[in-house]
Amino acid sequence: MSLRDEARELDAMDPLAGKRAEFDLDPDVSYLDGNSLGAPPRAVAERLTEVVGKQWAGRLIRSWDEGWWAAPERIGDRVAPLVGAAPGQVVVGDSTTVNLFKALVAAVRLNPGRPEILLDDGTFPTDGYIADSAARLTGHVVRRVPVHEMADVASSRTAVALVNHVDYVTGVLHDLPGVTAALRSAGALTVWDLCHSVGAVPVHLDACEVDFAVGCTYKFLNGGPGSPAFLYVARKWLDSFDQPLTGWAGHADPFAMTAGYAGGSGIRRARAGTPDILSMLALDAALDVWLDVTVDQVRAKGLALGDFFLRCLDAGAPGVRVVTPRDHRRGNQISVAWPEAAAARTVMSALTDRGVIGDFRPPDVLRFGLAGLYVRYADVFRAAEELRALSET
């Protein structure tokens, strides 16, 4: 059977095939950039119309008491099962950057007398920038190490380690359970960045005894461009979580408007300022696509899509070098290095013009995200075909 026919057959048998109809996507587009910006669930537009027209216009200020104020915790509890967290430990709001700052400063305060912050040396940039800033303010030193060396490097000097679950360039899936356990043995806390795994790879924060985690909701959770991020604080730290963005929304009794800050009980104290309701309720609607599907199902499809894509690439695009692990120690993307680094960005533009949308990351990497809720086997077949055609021009 040809790979083209095989793609058709795989799509026909795909138990998730029907989910694509829940997204507003041009059928002619092969959208392989859900690792950067998830596609729009159809429910979002409808919800926004309701939030603006009925809640904001209709109820005006009263809507704050009628669901808006509690939305960050309520929606956090919808994200929680996707990352293996029991209720009450996840809150939605602010950006990943801002939540990283909260988590890192709180972590070093909880682990005093340890001068070092370990940082995944392949981290997405913002994590490193924020680690440097937090270290500067709290008198710590940031030490950049490869994730696979963290277990050896962690010591009684380590306050906290900040680790990306999935490497955003290569797609490598790091060993969250193992690294967390090794750090814990050294008495270090962990902050995991789940941006590239949430909604694509099963995560078991509670079971792995992770201390803190952050993640964005605009990739595999499809919350919309720049939608609110989330922050996980393990139950055991909730009472002592001492974060620096002590906004009124995290106060124990915000509407008492007292002069001194007193952090609220539970995850509320991870909140900062007034929550951004339009974006937050757009995310709420986007999360409805998870009502009848599990992360395990999406993971299985993502791996199958990747395996098939790799076969297509091997068969048809021999010039590109796959930088993502071929075994299943990968997240939910396949990254390939283009033979001529200087041309890689142009190649992605050409692919996009041909209706195959991925993205480019320096210096020479083309990334293809495999969002199982809407990517078809035919899409990855087509991507490999177009890559082959471009490599022959």
Could you say which of 91, 277, 298, 356 contacts its own copies (CB under 8 A)? 277
Tell me which stretch binds its own copies (CB under 8 A): 74-82, 181-189, 267-275, 289-297: 267-275
**Would you state the structure tokens that stand for residue 89, as one six-digit string?**
């430990």
Neighbour-count burial for 347-376, b at 16+ CB within 10 Å, e otherwise? bbebbbeeebbbbbbeebbbbbbbbbbbbb
Could you say which of 16, 74, 88, 97 contacts its own copies (CB under 8 A)? 97
Q: Does 146 bind its own copies (CB under 8 A)?
A: no
34-73 residues near its own copies, rule: CB under 8 A: 36-37, 39-40, 44-45, 48-49, 52-53, 56-58, 60-64, 68
| Closest distance to its own copies from the beta carbon of 229 (Å) | 7
- The nearer residue to its own copies, 180 or 222, going by C-beta atoms, is 222
335-364 residues near its own copies, rule: CB under 8 A: 352, 357, 359, 361-362
Kindly report the number of other CB atoms within 10 A of residue 186's CB atom: 18
**Would you state the structure tokens that stand for residue 208, as one six-digit string?**
């792995």
- The nearer residue to its own copies, 94 or 180, going by C-beta atoms, is 94
Choosing from 31, 101, 212, 218, which is the catalytic residue? 218
- Binding residues for pyridoxal 5'-phosphate, as ranges, are 96-97, 124-127, 193, 196, 218, 248, 274
Q: Does 217 bind its own copies (CB under 8 A)?
A: no
Q: Does 278 bind its own copies (CB under 8 A)?
A: yes
Look at residues 308, 341, 344, 339 and name the one whose alpha carbon lies nearest to residue 326. Answer: 308
310-339 residues near its own copies, rule: CB under 8 A: none
Q: How far apart are CA 135 and CA 129, in angstroms?
A: 10
Q: How far apart are CA 359 and CA 62, in angstroms?
A: 43
Answer yes or no: 367 catalytic: yes
Q: Does 144 bind its own copies (CB under 8 A)?
A: yes
Q: How far apart are CA 216 and CA 369, in angstroms?
A: 15
Look at residues 309, 371, 355, 357 and name the one whose alpha carbon lies nearest to residue 334. Answer: 309
Could you say which of 191, 194, 282, 347 contacts its own copies (CB under 8 A)? 282
**Would you state the structure tokens that stand for residue 354, as one six-digit string?**
């041909």
What is the distance between the terminal CA atoms of the chain, rounded to a whole angstrom?
27
- The nearer residue to its own copies, 10 or 365, going by C-beta atoms, is 365
Answer yes or no: 101 catalytic: no
| Closest distance to its own copies from the beta carbon of 207 (Å) | 29
Could you say which of 245, 350, 378, 389 contacts its own copies (CB under 8 A)? 245
Q: Does 125 bind its own copies (CB under 8 A)?
A: yes
The DSSP bridge partners found for residue 163 are: 192
Answer yes or no: 193 catalytic: yes
Tell me which stretch binds its own copies (CB under 8 A): 19-27, 75-83, 196-204, 318-326: 19-27
Answer yes or no: 330 catalytic: no
Answer yes or no: 219 catalytic: yes
Which H helix or E strand runs over 75?
Answer: helix 71-79
Helices (H), 226-357: 277-286, 295-316, 344-353
Residue 201 gets which letter from DSSP? S
99-118 residues near its own copies, rule: CB under 8 A: 101, 105
- The nearer residue to its own copies, 282 or 373, going by C-beta atoms, is 282
Kindly report the number of other CB atoms within 10 A of residue 54's CB atom: 11
Q: Which residues are known to be catalytic?
A: 124, 193, 218-219, 367
